[in-house]
Amino acid sequence: MICLILAISGIVLTTSGCGGTGDQVSKMETTTSGTIYLSVDESFKPVIDSEVQVFESLHPEAHIIVHYKPEADCLKDLENDSIRMVIVTRGLTEEERAGLEKNLKFSPRYGPVAFDAIAVLVNNQSVDTAFTMQDIRSIVKGTSPYKYKMLLDGTSATSTVRFVMDSLLKGEPMSKNVVAAKSSQELIDYISANNDAIGLLGVSWVGDKNDPQALSFLQKVKIAAIECRECNGVYVKPYQANIAMGRYPMVRPLYYILKENYDGLGSGFSNFLIYEKGQLIFRRAYLLPGRMPLDVREMEITE
């Protein structure tokens, strides 16, 4: 009988010791507890900070550690075993998906959670507060009669730079008047101190009227209006209704990419981003929620 008990115990111990890394991690965490590391595009720091703060307050045993980086570095981190999720402005290419599936032995999950607008910021003393898309293109090309210095949140690797290269320049060279800021906050500070500078920045940095930091930024700079798509001379700002209706011309999606094939903390946080509480946080930050409807109502203002 003793030998039989020992034999059975050996089988149990051997069985419990089998399984891949995902199996081992899944026994140490749940969808609302444990620790997870994320790499996130620095352009979205304010809104992702809010998402993490609310999620952790709802689930005190959850610890989400975020590394904010240029988008290209976030995508490189998909090869890093310690990074379980990245949040960037595009999904995976077919080649990237196939490569990850080969290495991970399963297909990563990804999808859009919101849509962001790229705001044009000008100095508070600037007399130019409305631009056409041709104006913006000519400034980054160096062919504009405007003598502005254009600031981006970096000269390579960031999602804003990729947007400029792909959507504005379309293969043409970038002007020497395009200058790199070390961070989004440095971009705001530079424009606030220099009337000859304008910048491109994700709207979540300046859009949330309930965020004291965003309000402090809006005391330093102004958001310029951009010529509306198909609106016959109307200029619009990056408000949610203008994003939803396709009126604002500089819009980009926000994607999560998750390397998890079990119900762990990454799944819990991605579900939070997708469903009501997370979507409301995106809405408050002036992004357009990607997974919930947004009502747009026509109004008339009479004096």
DSSP string across the chain: -HHHHHHHHHHHHHHHT-S-HHHHHHTT-BTTBEEEEEEEEGGGHHHHHHHHHHHHHH-TTEEEEEEEE-HHHHHHGGG-TT--EEEESS---HHHHHHHHHHHSSPPEEEEEEEEEEEEEEETT-S--EE-HHHHHHHHHT--SS-PEEEES-SSSSHHHHHIIIIIITTSPPPTTEEE-SSHHHHHHHHHH-TTEEEEEETHHHH-TT-HHHHHHHTTEEEPEEEPTTSSS-EE---HHHHHTT-SS-EEEEEEEE--SSSSHHHHHHHHHHSHHHHHHHHHTTPEESSS-----------
Task: Tell me if 28-115+253-289 shares its fold with 116-251.
Answer: yes
pLDDT-derived band at 216, boundaries 50, 70, 90 = confident
pLDDT digits (tens, 9 = 90+) for 92-143: 999 999 999 999 999 999 999 999 999 999 999 999 999 999 999 999 999 9
The vertex-17 CA angle with 16 and 20, nearest 5°, equals 105
Average pLDDT, the chain: 86
**Rounded percentage of the chain residues whose pLDDT exceeds 70:** 85
pLDDT-derived band at 62, boundaries 50, 70, 90 = very high
* 289 close to 282: Cβ distance less than 8 angstroms: yes
- Tell me which of 3.40.50.300, 3.40.50.10880, 3.10.640.10, 3.40.190.10 is the CATH number of domain 28-115+253-289: 3.40.190.10
pLDDT-derived band at 204, boundaries 50, 70, 90 = confident
* 259 close to 266: Cβ distance less than 8 angstroms: yes
Mean pLDDT on 163-181: 90
Confidence (pLDDT) at 214: 67
Confidence (pLDDT) at 229: 87
What one-letter code names the amino acid at 169?
L
Mean pLDDT on 53-64: 98
Mean pLDDT on 144-171: 88
pLDDT at 6 over 80: no
Least confident window among 162-171, 213-222, 227-236: 213-222
pLDDT-derived band at 13, boundaries 50, 70, 90 = very low
pLDDT-derived band at 300, boundaries 50, 70, 90 = low
Parse the chain into domains and list their residue ranges.
Answer: 28-115+253-289, 116-251
pLDDT digits (tens, 9 = 90+) for 256-281: 999 999 999 999 999 999 999 999 99
Mean pLDDT on 146-152: 92
The vertex-284 CA angle with 281 and 290, nearest 5°, equals 60
Mean pLDDT on 4-24: 39
Mean pLDDT on 199-210: 83
pTM beyond 0.85, yes or no: no
Q: Which fold has domain 116-251?
A: D-Maltodextrin-Binding Protein; domain 2 (3.40.190)
Can you tell me the distance from the alpha carbon of 78 to that of 86, in angstroms, rounded to the nearest whole number? 7
297 or 10, higher pLDDT: 297
Confidence (pLDDT) at 11: 35
The vertex-232 CA angle with 206 and 146, nearest 5°, equals 55
pLDDT digits (tens, 9 = 90+) for 71-89: 999 999 999 999 999 999 9
Q: Which two tokens stand for residue 133?
A: 């898309």
